[in-house]
Structure 1
Amino acid sequence: MDWRAESPELWAFLGSLRCGEVLSGTVTAIELFGVFVALDDGPAHPLYPGVGFITIPELSWRRFEAASDIVQVGQRVSGEFLQFDTWNAEARLSLRALQPDPFHAFAERITVGRELRGHVTQLVPFGVFVQVADGIEGLIRRRDLTQPTDEVVQIGDRVTVVVTHVDREKRQLFLSRQTTSQL
């Protein structure tokens, strides 16, 4: 569809937005692939239930099961404008860009070798995810486990882990089940 010809007012509005600008609106629809937002300023979208769109990863820094864990239809939200999606004629937004990243604060105060307590949140073929702080999960790689994953721990188990590596750039935390006395 040629959005410029079909909806010149929408095209002009989206073209006037600047990266980093904060836009507000109301959540109009929640889909498996993201959230539509009717923006306060600007025209309606001729095809979609909102001119603003938030992809699932841009909803929150924290792990969640469904978008409805973060937002509800009818809720007022504000998000940072990321880009003009010219294919869909949408304003791509981020809610998490307006929130502090809990990983960076955590990474500033954590050191390799430190023991932490946490609970198992996910078993995956390549290892085990453990939540060690609010919004912070780390991975025990499968190779660092002495037995197959499902024989070692179950989801919800409380475990003691040791920090083996922190990658601030990639926002990754690697853990081991070995205590400092075993290292």
Structure 2
Amino acid sequence: MDGVSDDGAVRSFLETLEVGDLCTGVITAGDPSRAQAVTLDGFPTRALGSLGSADTVWGRGRTETYEVGRRITAGVVAVDLDEGRVRLSTAAAEHPELWAFLSRCRRGDILSGTVAAIESFGVFVALDDGPAHPVFPGVGFISIPELSWQYFDAVTDIVRTGERVRCEFLQFDTWNGEARLSLRATQPDPFRAFAAGVEVGRILPGTVTRLVPFGAFVRLADGIEGLVHPTELE
């Protein structure tokens, strides 16, 4: 097989794979403490799979090493068609129920659950239809920007522990084994309605809410704030 046709065969094979798929194969090269090459069943002529030292059990590090010649089952974390590589994670085999649940979720799905924990970086949600997470308080996670369209000082201004929420599924976070969620996506975007009713040059009344080194924030309507640059304040 020449180089051009071989590259075409690699691309065709990788196009059959999607993030969340389970693959089997054999580790053919590499150091267990670093990246290892994996020859996938279905394409034995080249090691297309890559298993890194961090691509293992979520949050706890590798529980066992995988020597050359070892057969493994792993989940597809990413597919790079241009480089002809597929990144794998053995976490899928460690927690098949969790991996299967997250693989079934599709962007736009509405998932319900209970706020399990609030952290400075986001909110964990225990999903009604999802399994428990092996490390985190909930399998669902809402980042700070996805909590609300409106500015808020504290996460507890939006949600509290134990509160019931309905969120939109954004993506399967294969690194942490989480369902990335958006609470604000289930609410109307106030900026769209606001922008539809104003035009450039119109004079708008507002209330200054914060002064910062780079200007002043002005509330123009409920959920709508604008920034006035220092050069425009005089």
| TM-score, structure 1 normalization | 0.77
Match of 1:121 in 2: 209
Structure 1 Cα separation of the partners of residues 130 and 152 of structure 2: 30
Structure showing greater radius of gyration is: 2
2:102 aligned to 14, 23, 36, which one? Answer: 14
2:175 to 87, 95, 106: 87
Q: 1:140 matched to which residue of 2?
A: 228
Letter in 1 for 2:220: V
Paired residue total:
146
The yes-or-no answer on 1:29 pairing with 2:117 is yes
Q: Deviations over 1:65-124 (max 9, x none)?
A: 111100011111010000000010000000111111000100111122222221111112
Match runs of 1:1-183 below 5 Å: 1-2=56-57, 3-146=91-234
TM-score by length of 2: 0.61
Unaligned runs of 5+ in 1: 147-183
Q: Secondary structure at the match of 1:35?
A: strand
Higher RCO, Cα 8 Å, sep 6+: 1
Alpha-carbon distance in structure 2 between the residues aligned to 1:84 and 1:130:
36
1:139-178 deviation line (CA, Å, top 9, x unaligned): 11112123xxxxxxxxxxxxxxxxxxxxxxxxxxxxxxxx
Runs of 4+ in 1 over 6 A off after TM superposition: none
Percent pairwise identity: 68
Runs of 5+ unmatched residues, structure 2: 1-55, 58-90
Task: Find the aligned partners of 1:16 and 1:135 in 2 and give their Cα distance.
Answer: 34
- SS of corresponding position for 2:176: coil
The RMSD of aligned alpha carbons is 1.0
Determine the C-alpha separation between the residues in 2 that align with 1:76 and 1:94: 14
**Helix, strand or coil at the partner of 1:122:** strand
Classify the secondary structure of the residue corresponding to 1:74: coil
